[in-house]
Amino acid sequence: MTTIATQELVTRVPEASQSEMKEAVDAASKAFETWGKTSVVTRQRVMLKLQQLIRDNEVTDNNYLLLADLGIATKRNRDTGHPQRTCLCHPSEKLELAKSITVENGKTLADAKGDVFRGL
């Protein structure tokens, strides 16, 4: 990836292996079985709850949100059988995402932060 302003190489993006791609497709297919049977109203409620949690910065390193709590199927911990904890978007990750938008698209940081916020 290069920065739009200077064409300087910023980072290299690794390619996913065939097994990683298969695992992702299998997980998405399995999740769709449940999610596809969920009513539109319930899906909307889940996504709005997720959006609000991210906006309120309630999901932090010490306060993980279980996707299962939102009704979304997740991988299970092999040892305990419990749903794996997933940090959805730590506040610092939102800033890092905005910085990436700045580098990749040449936007100001303030504009990129707005893009991240509006994207929720």
* Structure confidence by residue, pLDDT tens digits, 51-97: 777 676 544 444 445 555 555 545 566 666 665 555 455 566 778 88
pLDDT digits 0-9 by tens, 36-54: 898 999 889 888 887 777 6
Q: Can you list the pairs that 72-75 forms with residues at least 24 positions away whose Cβ atoms lie under 8 Å?
A: 72/31, 72/35, 72/46, 73/30, 73/31, 73/34, 73/35, 75/27
